[in-house]
Chain A
Amino acid sequence: MEKANREIIKEVFLAAFVLVCVGLIFTLWINAFSAKDVETPYFYRGVPELSQPSTATTTAIFEQPILGTATNTPQVIVTQPTVTATISILNFTPESDN
């Protein structure tokens, strides 16, 4: 009797294992087939092109602190003047799409 009961318990465990696995397999299939198709990316190299000319400006500041120092009186400090550079880029458009 006890052996029979143990056998029934083992069978129930086995059936539970198989049913859980079958449930997981069906969930996997549902997930896989209902998911949106994988993104199909595309890339291309952006070539500068704009319908009307535009200008982008950036400023670079160069400052050299001290070039030389005279120790005698009166003390003289020589500094380099601030330099501003302007770069103009025509027909610039950011790289597109991706």
Chain B
Amino acid sequence: MNSQSLPLLPKQPDKKNLPMPRIILLISVALAFIAWFYGYFSSGTDAAPYVPDVIQGAVRVETRGSLFIGYDQDEIIVGYAATGQGHGYGGPLEMLVGIDPNGEITGVKIIEQRETPGFFKLLLDKDFFDQYLGLKYQDPLQLDQDLDAVSGATISAEGIATSTRNAVRLLAQEGLNSPLPLEKRPIQFGFPEITLIGLYAAGYFGHKHRSSIWKRRIRWGTMITGMVVLGFIYTAPLTIAQIIALLSGYWPDWHNNLYWYLLIGGILFVTTVDAKNPYCNWFCPFGAFQECLAQVTNAKLYRPRRLSTFFTWLQRGLAFTAVLLGLALRKPGIAGYEPFATLFDFRGNLIEVVFLLVISLASLMMYRPFCNYLCPIDPIYDFIAESRRWVRESWQVWKKRTAK
């Protein structure tokens, strides 16, 4: 058998000499598992000590299953409390809700959350929590119905509303013996979801188009749409926090988070199956912003060959540190470092503003500096691509062996 008979067969991996990237890949996976287990077993808050905060006059609290019952000095029931879970921007939210025996909400308290501090400040500034007091357990407790949403912290507000509803549902059933009818959960499918599907489709056809002029036009169309709609209007680009939330098992309810699933699921699907990156070069809002700046000065890609490996591993190191921190501390929301919210939502502290300014300035001198040197998403693609290659190679070797 000459060497030309197996031109497409990849090199058989030598188990004794595993290539360095694969050794690092294995070590990374092992460390990520350790971080995940550490985070999983070290998280969680006991709600019982907080019950008197939401049931006024309770001097003694009795726990019955998942229900807390508050008694006053005369051993009369003064209220009930229970916890409910929802999903915020950074992961699950847990709310403790208290009601009096008449079914009126007497108090709400956040027991556990993983949101970025900025989101919470917005909710507090807008007196979001005050709205609950005095509402009855039969009330809808829905944003834009009996609760005002908070612009800029919609996902956190939705998470709090969902957790409170879940707690009230439990209270109605177990505390008041008055179960609520099953909640209708309409699927939230609107303009951002339609835009996202449209961008995937445009990217696919643009990628397949033979004419380079049309390819370029379609690409600019998707980039500008991504920047305006997914960036400035909805502030919903792909972030490392979403990847960490996915790895942590913080999967939000798909009914009102379809966008989350379309974005992450679509990208992971295309990358895994087709080994293509449908996002970064086609509709990443921050990438588009940098490209627009590069157009102003006609800035070109700059990546010196002798420093390339160092920068690649530095970028991977940053992304991996963010993932480890997010998994170990169970806080995806604050492990991320992308300046997306600073740009698209005009929100951030001094360091974040300086970071954005440095990147914007650099974007005038070189093509996509954040994407090429810092973005944590790029190493995630590398990780998937390398894993995919490894699986494919192993599969082909196994097929060859079984065919013999």
Contact = CB atoms under 8 A, between A and B. Distances in A.
Interface of A: 7, 10-11, 13-15, 17-18, 20-22, 24-25, 27-29, 31-33, 35, 38-47, 49, 96-97
Given A42-B53, A45-B104, 10 more contacts: A15-B307, A28-B337, A29-B325, A29-B335, A31-B351, A33-B329, A33-B334, A40-B113, A41-B109, A41-B110
Interface in B86-133: 96, 98, 104-111, 113, 115, 117, 120, 124, 129-130, 132-133
B134 interface: yes
Contacts of B304: 7, 10-11, 14
B358 A27 contact: no
For A7, A18, A35, A43, which residue has the most chain B Cβ atoms within 10 angstroms? A43
B334 A32 contact: yes
A23 to B, nearest CB: 10
Interface in B128-162: 129-130, 132-134
A17 B314 CA distance: 13
Contacts of A15: 307
B369 interface: yes
A43 B359 contact: no
Prevailing SS type, chain A contact patch: helix
A95 to B, nearest CB: 10
Interface string B33-44: 000000000000
Given A11-B304, A38-B113, A49-B57, A44 B98 contact: yes
B129 A41 contact: yes
A43 B351 contact: no
B311 A24 contact: no
Nearest to A20: B358
Contact of B373 (A13, A18, A47, A96): A18
Given A14-B307, A24-B355, A44 B53 contact: yes
8 contacts: A14-B302, A24-B358, A28-B355, A39-B124, A47-B56, A47-B57, A49-B56, A49-B57
A43 B108 contact: yes
A29 B335 CA distance: 7
A21 B133 contact: no
A40 B358 contact: no
A48 to B, nearest CB: 11
Interface string B304-319: 1001000100100010
